[in-house]
Structure 1
Amino acid sequence: MSEKLKVLFLCTGNACRSQISEGWARALKSDVLEAWSAGVAPHGVDPRAVRVMAEAGVDLAGHHSKHVDELLAIPFDYVVTVCDAAAESCPIFPGPARRVHRGFQDPPRLARDAATEEEALGHYRRVRDEIRAYIETLPESLGQS
């Protein structure tokens, strides 16, 4: 590949799933991808997402939630929506950006009824690992060879 693919991971709040996606992409695929994340209604990075990624050796502590409008000038090759709500409200990007949807369950929503913190973190860990498995398939699963 001559240039890295520019990929934006988008979800509603840019708090959990898109942050985890960006973190994994930077950690596992920085040789072929330039990764960013944003939200359509950002509301801060989820501390539990930071915690479970740290357990896996990926530091999200310096990340912050960004509104997708902050990144519209970047010529993304792909915009990957990682939640259904973001897929429905994803803005139109100028240039060649191709939209791909790969939804994941929402760990904060899953953790709401958890009886213990450990049970809540279990939801985050499962989704973290599902996102990692997806990121490991990139860029091939985006249609690139």
Structure 2
Amino acid sequence: MKVLILCTGNSCRSQMAHGFLQSFDSRITVCSAGTQAAGKLNAGAVAAMKEIGIDISNHTSDQVEQYLDQEWDYVITVCGGANEVCPAFLGKVKHRLHMGFDDPSHATGTDEFIKSEFHRVRDQIKDGFYKLYIEQIKPQLS
């Protein structure tokens, strides 16, 4: 089972989703990429995941082009906001899904509020991807 998670910057939401999905089942090959990859991970995302025991600090922020020639069981976009354009993936894909989440890296305010936004979005990503795993992916692995 191969899953590609796409976003614009591939530094925050897609990286958290990547970490969660990989933690659910080691039989899944998970990659993440961005149409305008930042080239580095968002420190807030890394910290939020580390707090719950998932280390994504070794992930890389990759350009989507490096995955276009591969076949995927799932390609999942995780862009959220109304003014944000989700990337299109033109490669060979069995299932295309969109699961939109707010971008916590755009949060402004106190450090406490910004941290709470990372936690909120992290928890939404966990819940959404766990539901996808249980309802769609895991049955295909059995």
Give the TM-score of the pair, scaled to structure 2: 0.86
Aligned residue among 38, 41, 48 for 2:36: 41
Letter aligned with residue 10 of structure 1: L
Aligned residue among 88, 91, 98 for 1:90: 88
Which residue is 2:102 aligned to? 105
Letter aligned with residue 75 of structure 1: E
Q: How many residues align?
A: 135
**Which string of whole-angstrom CA distances, capped at 9 and with x for unpartnered residues, describes residues 7-62 of structure 1?**
1110000010000000001112324x221100000012101100000001000111
State, as a whole percentage, how many aligned pairs show the same letter. 36
Is the CA contact 2:102–2:121 (under 8 Å) kept in the aligned structure 1? Answer: yes
Whether 1:122 aligns to 2:120 is: no
Shift of 1:86: 5.0
Structure 1 pair 142/80, CA: closer, same or farther in 2 (3 Å)?
farther
Letter aligned with residue 66 of structure 1: D
Distance of 2:57 and 2:138 partners within structure 1? 31
Is the CA contact 1:40–1:86 (under 8 Å) kept in the aligned structure 2? Answer: no
Which residue is 1:14 aligned to? 10
Structure 1 pair 98/61, CA: closer, same or farther in 2 (3 Å)?
same
Aligned residue among 118, 127, 135 for 1:133: 127
Shift of 1:118: 1.8
Distance of 1:120 and 1:14 partners within structure 2? 19
Report 1:56-71 matches (<5 A). 56-71=52-67
Structure 2 residue runs without a partner (length 5+): none
Structure 1 pair 100/141, CA: closer, same or farther in 2 (3 Å)?
farther
Distance of 1:81 and 1:142 partners within structure 2? 16
Structure 1 residue runs without a partner (length 5+): none
Structure 1 pair 42/23, CA: closer, same or farther in 2 (3 Å)?
same
Give the TM-score of the pair, scaled to structure 1: 0.84
Letter aligned with residue 101 of structure 1: H
TM-align CA RMSD: 1.8
